[in-house]
């Protein structure tokens, strides 16, 4: 859930829409969380909520940045990611090899700079709002482009070759009513699996089974980066009739996968990490597009948005429980698989002493911090840079500019599934795909705006998916005949 605490809007701080936590997040989270946990006693207003999204759980949540000063101790430091991952691992084990349900929607709430005066915060919030929206638009657009390009060119992903075990009912029925019933049943099964997994993850988290979660995540990301990439590469080569010998193939896939594991789970250049995250989101989305039957996919998308809405806004949701548990324990957050556009990892500070800010800021170059983050990445990092002033365990390194926006990978995946399905089934029509694309971007924009207005946790999936679904069905059934008729008569409006 995105939470916007205090006066700061989501834009000023880190707006994180954490959605899916794939495997490798765990490692990264550890570093980051260890960095964050090394802060002052006041918990970093970073909340991490994760929804077990594994199978289409659209737990896109907005994370609002909030001031620590305003976070009157109610910052949930939830370790949803762990639970989600664990749940995901469980689910992965029970799945066929083709199924890749590693994504758990992780909601990541991170607060921004603590202790800033409210007016300044608001100004900073709005000043960087548009920039952060664009920082989200670009990766979402890239992911969608990859998915649509693949769908339109590679036949493999539009062929029907079986279904996931979570959607056992077939849609090859004779009557429309039966087909609809089957799709609803498929959706019910999938959503209930997700809910059960979330609850299981909450339970696991409560009993601190971290190693289990770590292992599961590593396995999931291994499968995603190696197996699915191999399949994808194979299909692309088949489509373009390019021959590749096995040694070259092995070398390519090995390099791609190994660098991906390092970048995602450990450290790597930010751009490379972002690229890998976008690629694995696209791969996951392609898997969903291939294996979800048509009507089930649409109903699942709708149900996921509703579930996301309910889980984020209802007080008894598993996500809330995770958040509260993490908060009670004051444990480091496990960042789930989140796409981050930030250049610098902020090491939050409990209190910001204005008088000492000048002195503190000097040794904390953004570049320096980034370098040290990359080179050290140890929990002791904040201690290494601990300022000589007592009572300040950490330093506020984050400048407003560097506070990037974080979006969960589950959001990427479900947006891409929607657009990809529109491209796959829209009878070869590009207008439908474009309409869905614009609708999703507008939904993302609106969600950010709502977050800035309401200043509390909001899910990121519902608005975009709703717009996307409305525009898909209306464009496919109303606009397409109109535009086709106009085009055939060469009329322009």
Binding-site ranges for another protein (CB under 8 A) = 122-123, 126-127, 130-131, 133-134, 137, 428-431, 434-435, 438-439, 441-442, 445, 471, 474-475, 478-479, 481-487, 489-493
Q: Could you give phi then psi for residue 127, rounded to 5 degrees?
A: -60, -35
| Minimum distance from residue 124 beta carbon to another protein (Å) | 10
- Can 371 be counted among the known catalytic residues? no
* Cβ distance to another protein smaller for residue 134 or 368: 134
Nearest to 90 by CA among 2, 172, 209, 262: 209
CA dist., res. 142 & res. 437, Å (int): 11
User: What is the rounded CA–CA span in Å between residue 344 and residue 358?
Assistant: 19
**At closest approach, how far in Å is the CB of 463 from another protein?**
13
65 close to 404: Cβ distance less than 8 angstroms: no
Out of 30, 89, 308, 476, pick the active-site residue.
308
Smaller CB separation from another protein, 150 or 296: 150
For residue 224, what are the contacts with CB-CB under 8 A and spacing of at least 6? 22, 23, 100, 102, 280, 283, 284
Least Å from the CB of residue 122 to another protein = 7
**Complex with another protein: residue 195 or 445, whichever CB lies closer:** 445
Helix/strand/coil (H, E, C) string of 361-401? HCCCCHHHHHHHHHHCCCCCHHHHCCCCCCCCCCCCCCCCC
Tokens standing for 338?
């989140």
Is 308 annotated in the active site? yes
**In the bound complex, what is the minimum distance in angstroms from residue 125's beta carbon to another protein?**
9
Catalytic member of 23, 100, 106, 411: 411
Classify residue 489 as exposed, middle or buried by CB count within 10 Å of its CB (0-12, 13-18, 19+). exposed
Angle of the 318-329 helix axis to the 294-313 helix axis, nearest 10? 40
Q: Minimal distance in Å, beta carbon 130 to another protein?
A: 4
DSSP 443: H
Q: Tell me, what DSSP letter sits at residue 11?
A: T
State in angstroms the smallest separation of the CB of 474 from another protein.
Answer: 5
Cβ-based nearer residue to another protein, 355 or 490: 490
- Dihedral-angle region of residue 329 (phi above 0 means left; psi in -120 to 50 means alpha; beta otherwise): alpha
Minimum Å gap between C-beta 121 and another protein is 12
Q: CB atoms < 10 A from the CB of 426, how many?
A: 18
Residue keyed to tokens 């060119």: 153
Shortest gap between Cβ of 376 and another protein (angstroms)? 33
DSSP 271-335: HHHHHHHHHHHHHHHHHHHHHS-HHHHHHHHHHHHHHHHHHHH-TTSHHHHHHHHHHHHTPPP--
Q: Which is nearer to another protein, 138 or 244 (CB)?
A: 138
Nearer to another protein, 254 or 430 (CB): 430
Query: Phi and psi (nearest 5°) for 408?
Result: -70, 150
When the beta carbons of 6 and 49 are compared against another protein, the nearer one is 6
- Nearest C-alpha neighbor of 281 from the set 162, 158, 417: 417
Residue number, 9 or 115, with CB nearest to another protein: 9
Neighbouring C-alpha atoms within 13 Å toward the C-beta of 172: 5
Q: Which residues are catalytic?
A: 308, 411
């Amino acid at each position: 859930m995105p939470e916007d605490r205090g006066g700061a809007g989501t834009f000023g701080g880190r707006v994180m829409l954490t959605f899916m936590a794939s495997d490798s997040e765990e490692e990264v989270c550890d570093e980051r969380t260890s960095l964050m946990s090394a802060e002052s006693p006041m918990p970093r207003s970073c909340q991490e909520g994760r929804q077990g999204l594994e199978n289409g759980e659209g737990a896109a949540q907005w994370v609002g940045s909030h001031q620590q000063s305003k976070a009157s101790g109610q910052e949930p430091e939830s370790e949803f990611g762990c639970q989600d991952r664990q749940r995901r691992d469980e689910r992965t084990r029970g799945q066929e090899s083709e199924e890749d349900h590693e994504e758990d929607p992780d909601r990541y709430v991170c607060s921004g700079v603590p202790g800033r005066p409210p007016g300044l915060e608001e100004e900073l919030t709005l000043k960087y709002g548009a920039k952060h929206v664009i920082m989200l638009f670009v990766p979402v657009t890239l992911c969608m482009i990859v998915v649509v390009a693949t769908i339109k060119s590679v036949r493999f992903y539009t062929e029907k070759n079986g279904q996931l075990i979570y959607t056992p009912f077939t849609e090859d029925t004779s009557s429309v009513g039966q087909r609809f019933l089957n799709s609803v049943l498929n959706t019910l099964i999938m959503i209930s699996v997700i809910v059960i997994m979330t609850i299981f993850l909450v339970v696991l988290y409560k009993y601190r089974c971290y190693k289990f979660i770590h292992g599961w995540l590593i396995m999931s990301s291994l499968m995603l980066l190696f197996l699915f990439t191999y399949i994808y590469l194979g299909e692309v080569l088949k489509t373009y009739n390019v021959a590749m010998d096995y040694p070259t193939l092995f070398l390519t896939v090995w390099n791609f996968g190994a660098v991906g594991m390092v970048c995602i789970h450990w450290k790597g250049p930010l751009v490379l990490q972002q690229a890998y995250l976008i690629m694995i989101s696209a791969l996951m989305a392609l898997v969903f597009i291939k294996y979800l039957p048509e009507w089930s996919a649409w109903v699942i998308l709708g149900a996921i948005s509703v579930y996301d809405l309910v889980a984020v806004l209802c007080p008894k949701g598993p996500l809330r429980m995770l958040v509260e548990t993490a908060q009670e324990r004051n444990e480091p957050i496990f960042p789930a698989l989140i796409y981050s556009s930030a250049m610098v990892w902020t090491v939050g500070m409990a209190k910001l002493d204005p008088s000492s800010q000048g002195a503190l800021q000097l040794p904390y170059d953004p570049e320096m911090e980034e370098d040290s983050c990359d080179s050290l990445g140890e929990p002791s990092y904040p201690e290494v840079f601990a300022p000589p002033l007592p009572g300040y365990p950490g330093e506020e390194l984050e400048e407003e500019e560097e506070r990037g926006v974080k979006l969960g990978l589950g959001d990427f995946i479900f947006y891409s599934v929607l657009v990809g399905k529109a491209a796959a089934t829209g009878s070869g029509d590009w207008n439908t795909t474009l309409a869905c694309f614009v609708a999703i971007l507008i939904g993302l924009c609106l969600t950010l705006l709502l977050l800035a207005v309401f200043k509390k946790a909001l899910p990121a999936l519902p608005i975009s998916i709703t717009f996307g679904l409305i525009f898909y069905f209306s464009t496919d059934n109303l606009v397409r005949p109109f535009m086709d008729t106009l085009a055939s008569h060469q009329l322009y409006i």
